[in-house]
Structure 1
Amino acid sequence: MKYNLRYLLLAFLSLTCFTANAQQKPLAQLQQQFVDLRFGMFIHFNIPTYMNQDWADPEAKPNIFNPTKLDCDQWAKAAKSANMTYGCLTTKHHSGFCIWDTKTTDYNVMNSPYKKDVVRQFVDAFRKNGLKVMLYYSILDTHHKLRPNSITPADIKMIKGQLTELLTNYGPIEALIIDGWDAPWSRISYDDVPFEEIYHLVKSLQPNCVMMDLNGAKYPAEGMYYTDIKTYEMGAGQRVSKETNTMPSLACLPIQKSWFWKNTFPTEPTKDPFKLVNDDIVPLNNANVNFILNVAPNREGLFDDNALASLKKIGELWKNAGSEATLPLLDAPIISHNLAKHQPSNSSWSDDMNIMDFANDDDFTTSWISNTTVDKPWYEIDFKTETAFNAIAIAEEKPNISKYVLEYYHSGAWKPVFDGENAKKVKVNHFDRVTGTKVRVRILKSDHQASIAEFEVYDEKR
């Protein structure tokens, strides 16, 4: 009888998992749902809260983390007072302290005087109050020495282990916001910590969780590079166009002067609720942008009175109008290693110093530009050896190329993978996997001097 019950339980669990996987939603639907959430709460709460700094000392002792009055229900009710639809908590910031019961490191909340899982309390409180749940996680980790030029296989294993815990033990996670990855200040690249591997791990654990990198500012606004959602940290000078943006996006600001709590916060004015509503939330929502406003809990684990009052005022001024306009049909996100980066390149005659190397230097602010005398310009990457790939992207400083042919060189002949028209600023071409020693674009039509900011080649795992 025990065997039969066990068999039935395993069968039920298998059926449940199958049903969950069968309910996986298309990415376009998930992006639309994310944009439709409109407005939510970022919560920067971690060991920097106790140091009057946004970046904590990586050797800070866990014993300073002790929120004696922590009340995540207060956070959730404050979010509801502002008519927010979700909350997002900093599970681990750049100094590596984990505020959940992790098995991957001793540097966590269970070894602090508090000894309780903050992530658990957060997700339970927000769900109880009818709010969606998102999580923030930093790749940069100065305590565990996950820094530029020092990433090891053990580091990647720890990252995967921590994300697996977060996406397995806390129920449905609407979105995962990654930070400290491929940013000018973190300098940990998508190759150092392989983006494609992490992306597929996230999707295998929670297929309906949108994943975004908070540091995609170097990539063109019109292209979906290494993220499901375009992100803009407005306090760092990143701006999304309120007039022309068509991409599903996230923009963030703190309601106080910085992200983590400072001892001056209780007596300093917050940002003006009227300006936040009229200058940020409303116009950003109208441009396909979900706006997330950070509110920093104090060292007791509570929001200060002035922050609570400002959130309530926002709720009086702003109401959720429902679904946004339908997003345009988008290309699948680019998540793979760029095979063309820094490879030998060649081209037809260039315009002065804007030579071929500028189109595969991993810098979208520089371009190869064709000389005006060339009627049918071309650009080429030479891999030297047979290389497999199944996607090519062409990014331009401004849209100019409208008709082109993509070809690869194999067994002594050039063979086409695309021949047609595409006038987008970022042109993404997917096709069945091929192998070749070279790949090139022949430009048949452009409305002014043909130019390419980045010519990118990928071998995507599909």
Structure 2
Amino acid sequence: MLNAQVKTGTPAKPLAALQQEFVADRFGMFIHFNIPTYMDQDWADPEASPAIFNPTKLNCDQWAKAAKSANMSYGCITTKHHSGFCIWDTKTTDYSVMHSPLKRDVVKEYADAFRKNGLKVYLYYSILDTHHQLRPNAITPKHIQMVKAQITELMSNYGKIDALIIDGWDAPWSRISYDDVPFDEIYLLIKSLQPNCVVMDLNGAKYPAEGMYYTDIKTYEMGAGQRISTESNHMPALACLPLQQNWFWETSHPNTPVKDPVKLVNETLIPLNKANCNFILNVAPNRDGLMDENALAALKTIGSMWKNDKAPVTLPELDAPIISSNLAKHQYANSSWSDDSEIMDFANDDDFGSSWVSNKSVKNPWYEVAFKKDQAINTIVIAERKANISNYKLEYFAEGAWKTLFNGENTKKIKVHRFNRVWASKVRMSIDKAQHQVSIAEFQVYNERR
């Protein structure tokens, strides 16, 4: 067992405080370093031999000092990317660095070096794992056990982990849902081991900017076209970009110009920070395990232009994130008269790009979801396309009668209602007042673990 054990019984800070601290970190280093480093591609062959992973000059202290030169606050390393190669001393698989020529725990060396240099330690972990066949339509209980065991190792053996960035989950290109690998089980496991670890899933493309779904922090992969609004964002956020052309090192990197550090500071880092967004810049180490000179020079230039002023972060009061499975998804739905083809089924199809739209002639629209059997529920979320509905009633059907859960005003675009657990065969929303024609993107029902 490694010597940097996390002490049990660590008191948990309120999530709001952790979110503020995360935004106040402002700028850090993403480190894509894994078996793709040796393949000139971001997605590696899942059958690539561990024998190719051989960084003969590996120096994580160089990485940490490079991050310090740019006045960064933390690092974040790819412990396992999509092809399943683990760069720590794992007991879960032989497909790891301990079966490579290096035979050293890279995660430990990274964590020790960054902590020694006064930097926080974040980790990255991919749910998608093509080597171990953890992919769509192939997931088994053993896969879920492996994920839990690997995350337990990462959260137990490397000291305090300030944040975990999870990838390859609920994305169009991975197609692994939060039901296939249960999000709430993984989330609560992480929090039980590291109560002050901020958990992020890179799901920014799917969910509305105003809602906190399946993450403690809103995330934006800028290279994939995901953009945060620097004018209107009020959520704690993370945005990422690579300094080089790719996430993982390629043979062309040493002789290809990196992104302009001056533009990165003035056009990306500063505007993002003003919008409650922490910016993580990827710097890919080469096959020797070192960072190239052009990358090091760019980081020094950034550091000469920018530093964290430690200004306090003020975030609005936010709802706790949704982490459970949506019980209303694809259940039987009914409603008052719809507008043309935008019928009731579009409000529980797990797609925020479609909506149920009430016919404009209906004065008091209603929407209803029925379950195949009675369900325990304690949360309802209504996600509008635009903030429009202001006054409404929420009810559930039990013991032959409709019973009221909420009757009043809520003008938010994402309307979150949490209440004591009840058993219901149906739930409905009756709308009393809206500024314009009613349009609901998703009507969601949950039974959260509390």
Equivalent positions of 1:199-238 (< 5 A) are 199-238=187-226
Q: Which residue of 2 aligns with 1:6?
A: none
1:402 matches 2:393: no
1:54 matches 2:42: yes
Contact persistence 2:331–2:348 (CA under 8 A):
yes
2-structure distance, mates of 1:66, 1:131: 26
2-structure distance, mates of 1:409, 1:115: 60
1:241 matches 2:241: no
For 2:355, which of 367, 375, 378 is the aligned residue? 367
Contact persistence 1:182–1:216 (CA under 8 A):
no
Equivalent positions of 1:63-462 (< 5 A) are 63-462=51-450
Contact persistence 2:249–2:284 (CA under 8 A):
yes
Shift of 1:324: 4.3
1:103-156 CA-to-partner distances (Å, cap 9, x unmatched) read 000000000000000000000000000000000000000000001011100000
Q: Which residue of 2 aligns with 1:35?
A: 23
Contact persistence 1:196–1:335 (CA under 8 A):
yes
Shift of 1:215: 2.4
1:279 maps to a residue whose letter is: E
The secondary structure found in structure 1 opposite 2:298 is helix
Shift of 1:421: 1.0
1:52-81 CA-to-partner distances (Å, cap 9, x unmatched) read 010000000000000000000000000000
1:423-447 CA-to-partner distances (Å, cap 9, x unmatched) read 1111110000001110000111110
Q: Which residue of 1 aligns with 2:8?
A: 17
Contact persistence 1:288–1:324 (CA under 8 A):
no
1:405-433 CA-to-partner distances (Å, cap 9, x unmatched) read 11000011000111111111111100000
2:83 maps to a residue whose letter is: S
2-structure distance, mates of 1:354, 1:61: 51
2-structure distance, mates of 1:438, 1:274: 57
1-structure distance, mates of 2:12, 2:129: 32
Contact persistence 1:211–1:229 (CA under 8 A):
yes
2-structure distance, mates of 1:323, 1:252: 22
Shift of 1:372: 1.2
Contact persistence 1:405–1:442 (CA under 8 A):
yes
Contact persistence 1:93–1:141 (CA under 8 A):
yes
2:66 maps to a residue whose letter is: A
Contact persistence 2:204–2:221 (CA under 8 A):
no
Q: CA RMSD, aligned part only?
A: 1.1
Contact persistence 2:379–2:448 (CA under 8 A):
yes
Cα 1:371–1:357, aligned 2, differ >3 Å: closer, same or farther? same
Contact persistence 2:26–2:273 (CA under 8 A):
yes
Contact persistence 2:204–2:218 (CA under 8 A):
yes
Give the total of aligned pairs: 446
The secondary structure found in structure 2 opposite 1:384 is strand
The secondary structure found in structure 2 opposite 1:453 is strand
1:249-285 CA-to-partner distances (Å, cap 9, x unmatched) read 0000000001000000000000000100011000000
1:45 maps to a residue whose letter is: F
2:352 maps to a residue whose letter is: F
Contact persistence 1:173–1:209 (CA under 8 A):
yes
1-structure distance, mates of 2:275, 2:405: 35
Shift of 1:373: 1.2
2-structure distance, mates of 1:151, 1:233: 26
1-structure distance, mates of 2:120, 2:435: 46
2-structure distance, mates of 1:45, 1:140: 17
Identity of matched residues, %: 72
1-structure distance, mates of 2:254, 2:50: 25
1:17 maps to a residue whose letter is: T
1:265-308 CA-to-partner distances (Å, cap 9, x unmatched) read 00000000010001100000000000000000000000000000
Contact persistence 2:127–2:167 (CA under 8 A):
yes
Q: Which runs of 5+ in 2 are unaligned?
A: none
2-structure distance, mates of 1:403, 1:70: 60
Q: Which shows bigger deviation, 384-393 or 334-343?
A: 384-393
Contact persistence 2:32–2:282 (CA under 8 A):
yes
1:325 maps to a residue whose letter is: V
Q: Which shows bigger deviation, 215-224 or 83-92?
A: 215-224
2:102 maps to a residue whose letter is: Y
Shift of 1:17: 3.1
The secondary structure found in structure 2 opposite 1:157 is helix
Contact persistence 1:134–1:176 (CA under 8 A):
yes
Shift of 1:321: 1.4
Q: What is the TM-score when the length of structure 2 is the normalising length? A: 0.98
Q: Which residue of 2 aligns with 1:8?
A: none
